[in-house]
Chains A and B, each alone.
Chain A
Amino acid sequence: MMLTPIETASACVLGLLLIVVLAGILHRKQRLLLPVCFSLASAASLLTVVAGGLAVANGLTEQVVMLIGLPDLPFHLRLDPLSGFFLTVIGLLAFFVSIYSIGYVKGFLGRRSVTSLVIFYCLFLAGMFMVVLSDDALIFLISWEVMAAASYFLVVFEDEQVENRRAAFLYMVVAHVGAIAILLSFGVLAGLATGFGSFSGYTFDAMRSAHFPVEWATAAFLLSFFGFAAKAGVVPLHVWLPEAHPVAPSNISALMSGVMLKTAIYGIIRITFDLIRVFPWWWGAIVLIFGLVSAVMGVLYALMQHDLKRLLAYHSVENIGIILIGIGLAMIFTSFKLPLLAALALTAGIYHTLNHAMFKGLLFMGAGAVLHATHERNMEEMGGLIHLMPWTAVLFLIGCISISALPPFNGFVSEWLTFQAFLLSPSLPSPLLKLLIPMGAALLALTGALAAACFVKAFGVTFLGHWRGHHASRVVETGWMMRLGMIMAALTCLLLGVFPTLVIGWMDAVPEQLIGSGLGATAGTFGWMWLTPVAYERASYSGPIVFFGILSVVVAAYLLLHVRPGAIHRAPIWDCGFQKINQRMQYNATSFSMPIRRIFGFLFSVREQVRLSPQTPHRAFPRRIHYYLRVRDRFWGWLYRPVIEASFWVSRKVGRLQQGRIQAYLIYSFVTIIVLLVFLG
């Protein structure tokens, strides 16, 4: 019996729920539980990739009304190219990460029970799949909450540390504030679709066929954008990301950063392009502006970090920004009736979604491998790992090149497409856009350059040089399962970068569905060899040629250096005659980012102190120097501190009601009764 894609996908979700039960049964056999459950989860993820991939490739749209649900309000599922695309993205990374997890989670064995990790991992995956499959507001919100709750428990997995609990709490608060906004947004849409007296507007179909007055549609859009931005980590709602991602187990950070944020992107696309459909251009401008701010701020904050996973978390903010730039441009072009350009910008945005999932997943897996081996998150305490962990180093480097948008890897293609969308845009009839579009292109270029600088730092400080740590650590290369997960992700990065034309041809059903115009015909005019997004005389890129060009240069350089004996010889470093050089005297993360800290210092709250140690006999001969640097997010003080203080203030005022005296409480009820009797009696 052949299953249709949507049945396959639903079966996978069901399978993940069954793994949850299985994990409960195998609770006592932790060593068995781990490989069995994670390999089953990876199989389920792979099947969803097949289902989603088929739905996109064939441009299928299938709907299912489920038998379960609230009374008279059954749940609806739907697999169309858009959800199929996100299903593929989520499933692909989940497949890699599940394989990686078999090796990674072993590190917890003997220290704590991993049953809860497995259970919430599967629930988390199931939640994400359901979010993109759902076709009514109820099941969407339920899946959304399952996803949020499961990821909360995953973040707080190592719950004995205060830091983890605080981060998870912050995550929970932001996620819920966002969820409320999304709920309200759906409320507005459902109410307007069929009138506020009826409940049948909760299906997406009802919303699709409705016409919304522009002011209500704007309210719904702003609410949903706020809600999804909180989940995606758009500046200034990004504060939970750099707290929650570093403390979660690394396989979880890979999933959260790689694909969970993408469900928010999915939500934005679904609501604007599919449910509301007709919107004014300035919605796109809002998305574009937030995307630009997130991209620039994200990368600048990332440069200041020396915690490897926190750095990666800030890069997620940046990449979400880049994706939003693509989507914002697509919205602007759509409302100005430029379907080809809109398709180009949307393709750029969702291509970057796919790419970011792959390379950010790879990078978090690499960071996890480093963490697994060194038990250290601070880059300043690492160094020289390329000799000890060559596999991890090469794979992490591939991730770095991809995220820095350098050819021939995948990051380049999607950022290049975004640039094309900027550069090809005609002059639009709005002064704001005339300013915004060139500036956006410039900012995007700045972001790319800064990201490259940041990853030179991340890779250089972590893997190159000598070990900087205070205490020597026994570092060994990671196991095969972890390597396998990373290798597959790295290969995907390469393939997505070398054969962009095929990928764009595959995902063409998505812009076809949402905008009514595709890129496949123009992009693939010259076959898989050349990518010509709009027309070959405007811009073209050939992944295979660039790849083989670079490969031949690398091979030639390697041969030149290694075939000839004596071409490489190792010698001590020239120490400028200082003679007492030690391993702490290396260029490190703080010194690398110093110039940028000076230039963009006004964006951060920087506190820098240099203090001589108290035993110093004379200022000219310090025995020791203490250097203290603290870089903090300005948004915390600007936006969050006032909100926190206001809520505490309100709570204190309301807390006055709680006197602790029985009489006071009795008076409250007495007065209430009297007032009710007076007014209603």
Chain B
Amino acid sequence: MNLSVAANINSFLAALVLLTAFGMLVQRRMYGLIHLFAWQGLFLSVSTAIVGFVAGKHHLYISSLLTLSLKVVLLPYILHVLIHRLRIQKEVETVVNVPLTMLIGIGLVIFSYHLTAPVRELSTLVTRSTLAVALATVMIGLLMMITRRHAVTQIIGFLAMENGLFFAATSATYGMPLVVELGVALDILIAAFIFGIFFFHIHTTFDSLDVEKMARLKESD
């Protein structure tokens, strides 16, 4: 596989990652959201494997496998179980309406391209064009956390942000050292467990996972 083909495939996968990010931004059903998240993980994993193959960095295969097992299988499964147990299949309400969210998202993508323009000119890596997408994914994840009211969607937004960071790492420097990636993966896993436990507690305390209702925790004057 020559470099230009790899770069094209990689760009295509980046586009798919961005597409799933936008999909998550507008998806209102909980299960749909989790499926999109799993898809994003899959694209990420494939992209990492291709980068690893092209650049000859074999530790990226391990990263790719980790991504596959964690973000495509395990985390969606945990979230699935969680939603099933807590019976929260209903539609996700957003704070800001969907078209506006989309417009902000598009704005963020353009902003990311603008920001990474100097890096793209300097870099010689195959993956240089995907850095903007990675940054946009991070920001869209954060945007998703801001615009959604449900605690579970906020967690998915957080995980999507992490996907974006991972993507940025592979596209900017061919991935972080393996030790760091292992650590991050473990962190994510632990975080997911902790979130799960907390959701149960929040659910029993507030009878809801709507973060708006948690505003009454604020100390009033």
Does B associate with A? yes
A-side residues, CB < 8 A to B, are: 652, 655, 658-663, 666-667, 669-670, 673-674, 677, 681
Tell me the complex Cα distance, A661–B216, Å: 9
Contacting pair B218 A666 (CB below 8 A):
no
Contacting pair A660 B115 (CB below 8 A):
no
Contacting pair B211 A652 (CB below 8 A):
no
What 10 additional pairs, Cβ within 8 angstroms, besides A652-B221, A658-B219, A659-B218? A660-B214, A661-B214, A661-B215, A662-B211, A663-B146, A663-B211, A666-B142, A674-B111, A674-B139, A677-B115
- State the Cβ distance, A474 to closest chain B Cβ, in Å: 49
A contact residues around B95 at 8 Å (CB) = 663
Selected A-B contacts with CB under 8 Å, 22 pairs: A655-B221, A658-B219, A659-B218, A660-B215, A660-B218, A661-B214, A661-B215, A662-B145, A662-B154, A663-B95, A663-B146, A663-B149, A666-B142, A666-B145, A666-B146, A667-B146, A670-B142, A670-B143, A673-B139, A674-B111, A677-B111, A677-B115
A contact residues around B215 at 8 Å (CB) = 659-661
Interface status of B212 (Cβ within 8 A of chain A): yes
Chain B residue at minimal CB-CB distance from A669: B142
6 closest Cβ contacts across the A-B interface? A660-B218, A660-B215, A666-B146, A662-B211, A681-B115, A661-B215
B contact residues around A655 at 8 Å (CB) = 221
Residue from A652, A658, A666, A673 whose CB has the most chain B CB atoms within 10 Å: A666
Contacting pair A661 B145 (CB below 8 A):
no
- State the Cβ distance, B25 to closest chain A Cβ, in Å: 14
Interface string of B184-221 (1 = CB under 8 A from A): 00000000000000000000000000011011111101
Chain B residue at minimal CB-CB distance from A671: B146
- State the Cβ distance, B206 to closest chain A Cβ, in Å: 13
Chain A residue at minimal CB-CB distance from B95: A663
Tell me the complex Cα distance, A673–B145, Å: 15
B contact residues around A660 at 8 Å (CB) = 214-218
- State the Cβ distance, A660 to closest chain B Cβ, in Å: 3
Report if A670-B218 is in contact (Cβ < 8 Å); known contacts: A663-B95, A681-B115.
Answer: no
Tell me the complex Cα distance, A670–B138, Å: 11
Chain A residue at minimal CB-CB distance from B157: A666
Tell me the complex Cα distance, A2–B111, Å: 77
Interface string of B142-163 (1 = CB under 8 A from A): 1101110100001000000000
B contact residues around A661 at 8 Å (CB) = 211-212, 214-215
Tell me the complex Cα distance, A662–B214, Å: 9
Within 8 A of A (CB), among B128-147: 139, 142-143, 145-147
Residue from B111, B146, B221 whose CB has the most chain A CB atoms within 10 Å: B146
Tell me the complex Cα distance, A666–B214, Å: 15
B contact residues around A662 at 8 Å (CB) = 145, 154, 211, 214
Tell me the complex Cα distance, A652–B215, Å: 17
Within 8 A of A (CB), among B41-84: none
Chain B residue at minimal CB-CB distance from A648: B221
Interface size class of B (residues with CB under 8 A): 20 to 34
A contact residues around B143 at 8 Å (CB) = 670
A contact residues around B219 at 8 Å (CB) = 658
B contact residues around A652 at 8 Å (CB) = 221
Chain A residue at minimal CB-CB distance from B158: A666
Tell me the complex Cα distance, A113–B214, Å: 44
A contact residues around B218 at 8 Å (CB) = 658-660
- State the Cβ distance, B108 to closest chain A Cβ, in Å: 9
Tell me the complex Cα distance, A525–B146, Å: 86
Tell me the complex Cα distance, A677–B212, Å: 29
A contact residues around B221 at 8 Å (CB) = 652, 655
B contact residues around A663 at 8 Å (CB) = 95, 145-147, 149, 211
Chain B residue at minimal CB-CB distance from A651: B221
Tell me the complex Cα distance, A658–B145, Å: 18
- State the Cβ distance, B216 to closest chain A Cβ, in Å: 7
- State the Cβ distance, A651 to closest chain B Cβ, in Å: 8
Chain B residue at minimal CB-CB distance from A667: B146
- State the Cβ distance, B134 to closest chain A Cβ, in Å: 14
Tell me the complex Cα distance, A663–B146, Å: 5
- State the Cβ distance, A674 to closest chain B Cβ, in Å: 8
- State the Cβ distance, A376 to closest chain B Cβ, in Å: 39
Tell me the complex Cα distance, A667–B221, Å: 23
- State the Cβ distance, B93 to closest chain A Cβ, in Å: 12
Tell me the complex Cα distance, A28–B95, Å: 62
Residue from A652, A663, A667 whose CB has the most chain B CB atoms within 10 Å: A663
A contact residues around B217 at 8 Å (CB) = 660
B contact residues around A666 at 8 Å (CB) = 142, 145-146
A contact residues around B115 at 8 Å (CB) = 677, 681
- State the Cβ distance, A281 to closest chain B Cβ, in Å: 50
- State the Cβ distance, A458 to closest chain B Cβ, in Å: 44
Tell me the complex Cα distance, A658–B218, Å: 8
Tell me the complex Cα distance, A193–B21, Å: 60
- State the Cβ distance, A680 to closest chain B Cβ, in Å: 10
Chain A residue at minimal CB-CB distance from B149: A663
- State the Cβ distance, B1 to closest chain A Cβ, in Å: 34
A contact residues around B111 at 8 Å (CB) = 674, 677
Tell me the complex Cα distance, A676–B150, Å: 28
- State the Cβ distance, B123 to closest chain A Cβ, in Å: 16
Chain B residue at minimal CB-CB distance from A668: B146
Chain B residue at minimal CB-CB distance from A655: B221
Tell me the complex Cα distance, A243–B86, Å: 57
Tell me the complex Cα distance, A652–B219, Å: 12
Chain B residue at minimal CB-CB distance from A665: B146
- State the Cβ distance, B27 to closest chain A Cβ, in Å: 18
- State the Cβ distance, B131 to closest chain A Cβ, in Å: 13
- State the Cβ distance, A390 to closest chain B Cβ, in Å: 56
B contact residues around A677 at 8 Å (CB) = 111, 115
Tell me the complex Cα distance, A681–B95, Å: 30
Tell me the complex Cα distance, A674–B115, Å: 10
- State the Cβ distance, A439 to closest chain B Cβ, in Å: 48
Tell me the complex Cα distance, A659–B212, Å: 10
- State the Cβ distance, B80 to closest chain A Cβ, in Å: 23
B contact residues around A670 at 8 Å (CB) = 139, 142-143, 146
Within 8 A of A (CB), among B82-138: 95, 111, 115
Tell me the complex Cα distance, A673–B115, Å: 12
- State the Cβ distance, B157 to closest chain A Cβ, in Å: 9
Tell me the complex Cα distance, A502–B154, Å: 81
Tell me the complex Cα distance, A211–B34, Å: 72
A contact residues around B211 at 8 Å (CB) = 661-663
- State the Cβ distance, B17 to closest chain A Cβ, in Å: 20
Chain A residue at minimal CB-CB distance from B116: A681
Residue from B143, B145, B221 whose CB has the most chain A CB atoms within 10 Å: B145
Tell me the complex Cα distance, A652–B111, Å: 35
Tell me the complex Cα distance, A467–B218, Å: 55
- State the Cβ distance, B76 to closest chain A Cβ, in Å: 23
Tell me the complex Cα distance, A662–B213, Å: 11
Tell me the complex Cα distance, A296–B49, Å: 86
Tell me the complex Cα distance, A674–B219, Å: 29
- State the Cβ distance, B135 to closest chain A Cβ, in Å: 9
B contact residues around A669 at 8 Å (CB) = 142
A contact residues around B142 at 8 Å (CB) = 666, 669-670, 673
- State the Cβ distance, B211 to closest chain A Cβ, in Å: 5
Chain A residue at minimal CB-CB distance from B117: A681
